[in-house]
A and B are shown apart, each in its own frame.
Chain A
Amino acid sequence: METTVTGQDPNKCVICAQPKYADGKMCSDCRNKLTELSIPSWVKIFAASVLCLMVIGIIRMPKFLSACMHSARGEKAQKEHRYKTAEKELTYVAAMFPDNVENNARLIICCGHNLDYKGMAEVSQRAADEKSEELTLIDEANDVIHKVTASLPSPKLDSLLARIGRPDKPSTIDSLKEFIALNPDDFFASFILANYYYDTQDWTKTDSITNMLLSKDPENIKALGLMAAIKRENKQYDSAIYFYDKMLEWNAELPEAISGKARVELKRNRDGEAKKFAEESYALDSTNSASLEAMALVDYFSGHRSEANKMLACIPKATTGDSMIAARVMDVLNGKTKYR
């Protein structure tokens, strides 16, 4: 509250009662004295104590502020389905606060969307048994874990594959078919079978199995990717782009989908567009085999053979993908396979 003082004898200073010799109700000495900012000692001590606490808080702040900024950027990117950026930002936070449950839950969601299963397993292990009030977030993270687990080989399938080896011969395929008949809900078994038919260019069977997988889980990224590849190989380029875009709805920064679009554009001789997508994918993840494959193909078709070979040499060292990719690209670069 503040109150103004008015009134009293107009010829005398209201403070010292001396005849005033300045404008207003006070003499100039009193006026000067009273306009000074005089603060009692106890208020100064109080202010100094608050200031001290504030300084300690500020000294401790950079770590928290940096974590908050990365966390806010991560959350924003996650909301926009830019999971690569989100994972990168949230990894910074995890480096500072490895036991923060909310951050770990977000990180699990991002790793799942980025097909980074190794990262997801690491974070899940760290976050196990931790409690949080953010139940929606925890439920979402658990959903992602469940989805990822369901689309990976089950222990039963693993033991079958260990016994029969890579399912790329009719004899081993029969064993796989028997397994699927007994385990119709095993996603990965059906997916391997669809891949086998894809490699043997049996489009009707590949299409049928992939459609079945998508009817069970319309957002399944592996099934969407395979469907896009089927469409691309059957010259249904717009449909192929449609399926890659469906993958990008799920994760706008998925190199497998962006580089897939580059491969579609190469097929239909739109090399400029293809280059744009390949570079975008490579910028997002230069260690992803799909990005490297797209770059190698774009370089090859634009006449930059040495660059294409450099990209090809990087594929075996890539953090994602399988040995088939390098062999596939090598066949194109050697002229063994006609890509378009």
Chain B
Amino acid sequence: MFLIPGFIISLLTFPGIIVHEFAHQLFCRLFHVPVFKVCYFRLGNPAGYVLHEKPKEDWQQVLIGIGPFFVNTILGLLIAFPAAAAFNFHDDSPLNAILIYLGASIAMHSFPSRGDAESIWKNLEGKTFKKILVSPLMLLIYIGAFGSIVWLDLIYGVAVTVWLPNLLIKSMA
């Protein structure tokens, strides 16, 4: 497997990390959860984080944790959509290349991190039934996190920015 140090990937795809942390922050705002600190990007592990108060409801914690999946996917798709349509006609102008890069780097950071999963899990301490309910989600998050070793995040990013726009166009046609 082709391995690249994590910080280089983070550096190359920093727009995705910024959007990922912003998505956590946005969901905190949505549920009126106070945010103490936001690190949108840094060259370290983790590459970004959001420090916030424990939400009143457990489901709010889950949504704050998985918020980036929705925000990054939708934003990545929206940014790349015009460029993906243009690429079909071999319009490889720099603007399209930038839009595809931005879209792909944002979409590839859609998966919640292991830290996000741990935070959701920790919040449910002593709540066995709720833990059972969220365990499939935990499994998916861990698959996504470990899948990055085999470039699952990049595959997802490319799928959202290249394959999905064409699929949408074909279904609209």
By a beta-carbon cutoff of 8 Å, the part of chain A in contact with chain B is 1-6, 15, 24-26, 30-31, 34-37, 39-40, 43, 46, 50, 53-54, 56-58, 60-61, 64-65, 67-73, 76, 97, 100
A-contact 0/1 string along B85-101, CB 8 Å cutoff: 11011110001101100
Q: Which of these, A15, A53, A72, contacts B95 with CB under 8 Å?
A: A53
- On whether the beta carbons of B32 and A35 are closer than 8 Å, the reply is yes
Please state if B64 and A61 are interface contacts (CB–CB under 8 Å): no
User: Are B95 and A34 closer than 8 Å at their CB atoms?
Assistant: no
Name B36's contact: one of A5, A50, A73 (CB within 8 Å). A5
Instruction: Give the number of residue pairs across the A-B interface with Cβ within 8 Å.
Output: 130
What would be 10 A-B contacts, judged by CB atoms less than 8 Å apart?
Answer: A2-B24, A2-B65, A4-B55, A34-B53, A54-B78, A54-B82, A57-B96, A67-B88, A68-B169, A69-B173
Structural contact, B96 and A2, CB atoms closer than 8 A:
no
The answer for the CA separation of A72 and B50 in the assembled complex, in Å, is 43
Contact yes or no, B36 A72, CB < 8 A: no
B169 in contact with A3 (CB, 8 Å): no
Q: Which residues of B contact A57 (CB under 8 A)?
A: 79, 81-83, 95-96, 99
Report A-chain residues with C-beta under 8 Å of the C-beta of B48: 1
Which residue, A1, A2, A40, A69, has most C-beta atoms of chain B within 10 A?
A2
B residues adjacent to A (C-beta < 8 A): 15, 18, 21-22, 24-26, 28-29, 32-36, 40, 46, 48-55, 61, 64-65, 78-79, 81-83, 85-86, 88-91, 95-96, 98-99, 102, 113, 115-116, 119, 122-123, 166, 169-170, 172-173
The answer to whether A72 touches B34 (Cβ under 8 A) is no
CB distance from B16 to the nearest CB of A (A): 11
Asked if A37 and B29 sit within 8 Å, CB to CB, the answer is yes
Whole-angstrom distance between the alpha carbons of A148 and B123 in the complex?
72
- B119 engages A26 (CB within 8 Å): no
Please state if A4 and B34 are interface contacts (CB–CB under 8 Å): no
The answer on a CB contact under 8 Å between B18 and A69 is no
* Cβ-defined contact, B89 with A2, below 8 A: no
CB A338 to nearest CB in B, in angstroms, measures 49
Which chain A residues border B85 with CB–CB below 8 Å? 61, 64-65, 67-68
**Distance in Å from the Cβ of B42 to the closest Cβ of chain A?**
11
Cβ–Cβ contact A3 & B50, under 8 A: yes
Which residues on B sit within 8 Å (CB–CB) of A64? 82, 85-86, 88-89, 91
Query: For residue B96, which residues in chain A have a CB less than 8 angstroms away from its CB?
Result: 57
Contacts of B65 in A (CB 8 A): 2
Known: A26-B53, A100-B89. A50 touches B79 (CB 8 A): yes
Closest chain-A Cβ to B112's Cβ sits at a distance in Å of 9
B169 touching A65 by the CB < 8 A rule?
Answer: yes
Alpha-carbon distance A54/B75, docked complex (angstroms): 10
Chain B residue contacts of A65, Cβ below 8 A = 82, 85, 169
Identify the closest chain B residue to A30 (Cβ).
B34
Partner of B33, one of A35, A54, A60: A35
* A37-B25, A50-B15 known; A2-B98 Cβ under 8 A: no
Q: Are B89 and A67 touching (Cβ within 8 A)?
A: yes
In the complex, A100 Cα to B169 Cα: how many Å?
Answer: 19
* With A46-B15, A53-B95, A67-B89: A72-B170 Cβ-Cβ less than 8 Å: yes
Contacts A35-B33, A61-B85 hold; do A25 and B53 have CB atoms under 8 A apart? yes
Question: Are A54 and B86 touching (Cβ within 8 A)?
Answer: no
Pick the contact of B89: A35, A36, A40, A97 (CB < 8 A).
A97
**Which of B24, B82, B170 has a CB less than 8 Å from the CB of A61?**
B82
